[in-house]
Amino acid sequence: MKYVGAIGRGLILVLLLIFILTPDSFAPLFRPLTENNAPPIYNQGSLLSLTLSHLAIVVSATAASAILAVGLGILVTRRSGLEFLPLSRSLVNIGQTFPPVAVLAIAVPLVGFGEKPTFIALFLYGLLPIFENTLSGLTQVPRVTLEAARGMGMSPGRRLCLVELPLALPVILAGIRISTIINLGTATIGSTVAAKGLGEVIIAGLQSNNLAFLLQGGLVVAMLAVLVDGALSAVERLAASRLGGDDTPKAS
């Protein structure tokens, strides 16, 4: 089954590359979805450029979310930072409490149109899954393992870096994967504030009542989500397999 999934994702990757590199070759497939001689393939920009811009803002926003969320997760699982847990939870819940569209409406007057308000919306929206998974991963490290590391003379910093984070890594990576997939879809709304991305294709389809444009934008986002999910799931499995092969703290 694992190999079947890998082959399927490989085919999706090939199809995606062919489509964004040579979209006009798919015109006969999309022409029946158009009316009044409308163009069957999005012609107001490069699909390759829009796809790369879409991925860039998702990756940058998710990376920023991961840095803050993992840092907060580490802080509030230390004895000295336990009191900040309620405040941290309130902070990371902001993105889930306010819809991304509302965040965009607030951010645009502050930072202007373009990528910046979209980055802020995705950054806030991606915090919660990573933060909660970081908490879960760090708090589930077996106490006996921590005691063993302490007994071997490891300092708190070394226990964190050499024991806790490696053991919690698969769970943290799962949170990053969830955040990334959420942001891949959410990033399409950035085009409403002039951010470059695949939302442009979808909005153009809505404005011109062109079903072909709508389908193209949606399909590319969906294929990206499948590919990114598969790639990050493979990284999770690799981290878990390495953990399973060696989960005993070592002194150095």
pLDDT digits (tens, 9 = 90+) for 93-130: 887 787 788 888 888 888 888 888 999 999 999 999 99
Q: How many domains does the chain have?
A: 1
Tokens of 129: 């899954």
- Work out the average pLDDT over 199-212: 92
| pLDDT one-digit tens code per residue, 212-229 | 999 999 999 999 999 999
Reported as a single tens digit per residue, the pLDDT across 14-68 is: 999 999 999 999 999 999 988 888 899 998 889 999 999 999 999 999 999 999 9
Give the separation between CA 30 and CA 131, rounded to whole angstroms: 42
* Structure confidence at residue 218 (pLDDT): 93
Residue 170 belongs to some domain of the structure: yes
Residue 1 included in any domain: no
> What is the distance between the alpha carbons of residues 187 and 193, in angstroms, rounded to a whole number?
11
CATH number of the domain bearing residue 137: 1.10.3720.10
Whole-angstrom CA distances from 190 to 81, 103, 109, 178, 243 are 35, 11, 15, 19, 38
62 in a domain, yes or no? yes
Structural domain includes residue 116? yes
Closest CA to 173 of 28, 70, 42: 70
Residue 216 Ramachandran class (φ > 0 left, ψ -120 to 50 alpha, else beta): alpha
Q: Is residue 27 part of a domain?
A: no
| Containing structural domain, residue 170 | 47-245
- Residue 7 domain flag: no
> Is 13 inside a domain boundary?
no
Predicted pLDDT of residue 82: 82
Q: Is 12 contained in some domain? A: no
Contacts of 226 (CB under 8 A, 6+ apart): 9, 12
Predicted model pTM:
0.88
Mean per-residue pLDDT of the chain: 88
